[in-house]
Amino acid sequence: MSKVAFTTVLDREDATLSEHFGAARWLLIHDDDTGERTIEPSAGSDGRAIASMLTLSDCTDVVCAEIGPVALAILRMVDVRAWQAPLGVPASELLAAFRRGDLPRATPAPEGSISLTDAAESEPLCTGSCGGHAEDTIRITIKE
């Protein structure tokens, strides 16, 4: 099973990636098993909320431009693989590159390029502000 998401700025198939994982406004999700494509509005304004959405959508992979170390650690803990791609390329082209195996695994963005807040112990990934799944919130503890 493969379900890949793209963190984008627009709600279109030809949208390009958001500059930062946690700032994505939309998730374009492609299910390779069923051929279904969905576009979901982002549940929050940080990487933890988006990681929660990916988990709840049963995504196995995500393609992003840059990702912070906290969001990347969360994705690793919930078995969602993160892949890095350049800005300015339509998601449809990135999907083809992903399927060919041309995208490198994501690495944390250089320090200072993304504003991070400390991950508090047992803080929920989604605060329920999306209105959709507050009772299903996943809690992950990050210890440094």
> In this structure, what DSSP letter does residue 11 have?
S
Return the domain boundaries, the chain: 3-136
Strands 61-64 and 81-84: parallel
Q: Which of 21, 17, 7, 28 is nearest to 67 (CA)?
A: 21
Query: Residue 132: which pLDDT band, with cuts at 50, 70 and 90?
Result: very low
Of all residues in the chain, the percent with pLDDT exceeding 70 is: 74
Q: Domain 3-136 is in which class?
A: alpha beta
Question: What mean pLDDT do residues 53-60 have?
Answer: 93
Contact 94, 112 (CB under 8 A): no
Question: What mean pLDDT do residues 63-79 have?
Answer: 93
In sequence order, what are the residues at sequence separation of 6 or more whose Cβ sits closer than 8 angstroms to the Cβ of residue 114?
A: 20, 22, 66, 67, 68
Q: Which residues pair with 28 in a beta bridge?
A: 6, 39
Residue with tokens 């969360």: 74
Look at 40-54, 59-73, 107-121 and tell me which has the smallest mean pLDDT: 107-121
Measure CA 56 to chain center: 12
Measure CA 48 to chain center: 9
In 57-127, alpha helices (H) = 69-77, 91-100
